[in-house]
Amino acid sequence: MSLKHSYKLIAPFYDLAVDAATRGARARSLEALPGAPGRVLLVGVGTGLDLPLVPTQHAYVGLDLTAAMLRRARPRAAARNFHAVQGDARRLPFSAASFDHAVLHLILAVIPDAAACLAETARVVRPGGTLLVFDKFLRPGERAPLRRALNPLVRHIATRTDVVFEDVLAACSGLSVEDDRPALAGGWFRLIRLRRAA
């Protein structure tokens, strides 16, 4: 089953599984968006769970692979300046340095090629801009046998459980880690703030 097809099926149930469990961590991540108005890319915006949490002064573009997710996201934009775009996060349909900041919540452990997604996001963020990441990652050298054993099954349905963030970052140039802290599940989920080199 393709990721696009599985998330079309998951769309009606996604909020029940994700919203309450992750809302606090997502809100803490979004607090790192600067106060000065800018253009922000929400990569893998999904059903728009972040939209009620984002500051209102920015202009937002939400990208997702499936129209079913974007249909659910649009009503959540409320008073925000929000534009929905259907597309692949590994091949973003935007020019270089066209955003001030980007948010990657629960996308890097979902997409088949996390490094391509992160590199593409870095490409479209201006030098000096920030990338806010919230997701589940293994630490370098972490054994995690159950998570690794589950991965061949769940990666085709909803998410990967074997992504090592440091490996993803090493494949992308021009990004530095400004903050990295545990968020949920004993540190499996992390809040990470990256800066694109000026």
* Per-residue pLDDT at 198: 86
Residue 125 β-bridge partners: 99
Predicted confidence at residue 1, as pLDDT, reads: 47
* pLDDT single digits (tens) 37-85: 999 999 999 999 999 999 999 999 999 999 988 999 999 998 899 999 9
| pLDDT the model gives residue 177 | 97
Domain boundaries, the chain: 3-196
Only one residue has tokens 């909020």, namely 15
What CATH code would you report for 3-196? 3.40.50.150
Helix (H, G, I), strand (E, B) or coil at 51: helix
pLDDT of 145? 58
Q: What is the pLDDT of residue 112?
A: 87
pLDDT beneath 50, residues of the chain: 1, 151
List the beta bridge partners of residue 136: 189
pLDDT at 79 (0 to 100): 86
Bridge partners of 132, per DSSP, are 103, 193
What does the alpha-carbon distance between residue 119 and residue 98 come to, in Å, rounded to a whole number?
A: 14
Sheet holding 189-196, edge to edge: 81-86, 59-64, 39-43, 99-105, 125-136, 189-196, 175-184
Residue-averaged pLDDT of the chain: 88
